[in-house]
Amino acid sequence: MTACLLSIEELSVGFHTPEGTARAVDRVSFSLDKGETLGVVGESGCGKSVTSLSILGLIPSPPGTIESGCIRFEGRNLLELDPEALRRLRGREISMIFQEPMTSLNPVIAIGRQVAEPLMVHHGLSRSAALAQAGEWLDRVKIPAARRRLEDYPHQLSGGMRQRVMIAMAMVCRPKLLIADEPTTALDVSIQAQILSLMLDLKNEMGMSLLLITHNLGVVAQTAARVVVMYAGQVVEEASVVDLFDRPFHPYTQGLLRSMPQLGARRSGGGKRLKEIPGIVPAITETIAGCRFAPRCRHAFDHCRAKAPDLFSVGVGQRARCWLKHFPERRRSDA
């Protein structure tokens, strides 16, 4: 029996735009256990980053507002915390790593001080003690000659090295939850592999939970235990990583998995056509009566366009937002 660390319940986030209120996140629910790695996948604009930013209270307001729902971290509702309490939480109990290692470090402060800062702020360490620990951490995230690089500035480091600094900064206070938003998207594959294995090693060593937000299904398959798939602001499927890749239920999940070229799949003949998902993601200001994926779905029928489906249980620990659960005869065979 593992204990639940974070649970998001019916979270809705809206943004006021000249075109009307855009619901970037629509009644999203999922939870994360202690020590677990949960992957959140989806394409641009599906609401995965907004969901993660709202955990830390980082939604810019205005234009953003959290319309409803709650985010429980160890039982406390984070949405009800005052700014001071939230500030004490950020960086100490929940840390975050962003996609852009170039822009998320301060370019005019030496990296040693940036890594040491959370220790000084949260644990009241003296500057020299914090810097000493920062040096240890830079060493731990495998920055060569770490102690001598404390005085280096971000521009003196490569992209992979900067992401290592970000990781050190996120980990110094030994948080219980690490949120990584596309941590390897800006990096080359060989560096991506290094960063992922570093993150997983540290996570296992410290018994931390990891919320990994990515669009890369390969990264999810290799790191997460459970996966939440988001589409147009909603959770459309949730499953264990094995079920998701072996028995995807939602047509969107199936479409995503089929549309990827597989390395090594090519025989000597010409490449076959990829199975594409037709159409494009609806604009978030659009109001859609039925299922949001219906316009692109090859199984869609009248009911899908008229009434929005709920997240139905479709297996052990697997849920999907799709009417095919109740109308399995409507599923078309693979052509």
Contact residues toward another protein (CB under 8 A) are 43-44, 158-161, 188-194, 196-197, 215-223, 241-242, 245, 255-257, 259-268, 270-271, 273-278, 280-281
Say whether the peptide bond before residue 309 is cis (omega within 30 degrees of 0).
no
Could you tell me the smallest distance in angstroms from the CB atom of residue 228 to another protein? 15
d(CA 204, CA 225): 13
> Is 188 or 302 the residue whose CB approaches another protein more closely?
188
**Least Å from the CB of residue 97 to another protein:** 17
Nearer of residues 164 and 176 to another protein, judged by Cβ: 164
In 3-state terms, what secondary structure has residue 73?
Answer: strand
Residue 264 CB, nearest approach to another protein (Å): 4
User: Given the complex with another protein, which of 91 and 282 has the nearer CB atom?
Assistant: 282
Least spacing, CB of residue 255 vs another protein, in Å? 6
Of 116 and 157, the one with the shorter C-beta distance to another protein is: 157
DSSP summary character for residue 20: E
Evaluate whether 99 touches 181 at the Cβ level (below 8 Å).
yes
Distance of closest approach, residue 207 Cβ to another protein, in angstroms = 21
Comparing CB distances to another protein, the nearer of 60 and 270 is: 270
Contacting residues for 209 by C-beta, under 8 A, at least 6 apart: 5, 6, 32, 33, 34, 35, 36, 37, 38, 176, 177, 178, 203
Query: Count of CB atoms within 10 A of residue 80's CB?
Result: 10
Nearer to another protein, 221 or 308 (CB): 221
Q: Where are the beta strands (DSSP E) in 42-110?
A: 64-73, 76-77, 94-97
Strand partners, 231: 234
> Min. distance of Cβ 187 from another protein in angstroms?
9
What does the angle CA 123 – CA 128 – CA 131 come to, to the nearest 5 degrees?
A: 75
